[in-house]
Amino acid sequence: MKLTDFKALSFDCYGTLIDWETGLWRSLQPLVERSRIDRETALTTYGLLEPEQEHETPTLPYRDILARV
């Protein structure tokens, strides 16, 4: 198989090319410092809340979903 055999290539950026968990964790620091929530709990909770927010506001830009969650 050669690269020229393809008309288009697609890449999953989040989690593959972009370490979004580290960026999200760093952004959450001001909120979680006082509560002493650990990284795994914070990211798991975010992972549960994000789809709920996306369902409630399907036309909201992703950056605004991040801010709300």
Active site residues: 12
Rounded alpha-carbon distances, angstroms, from residue 21 to 2, 8, 9, 11, 58: 34, 28, 25, 18, 22
Axis-axis angle for helices 39-56, 20-32 (nearest 10): 100
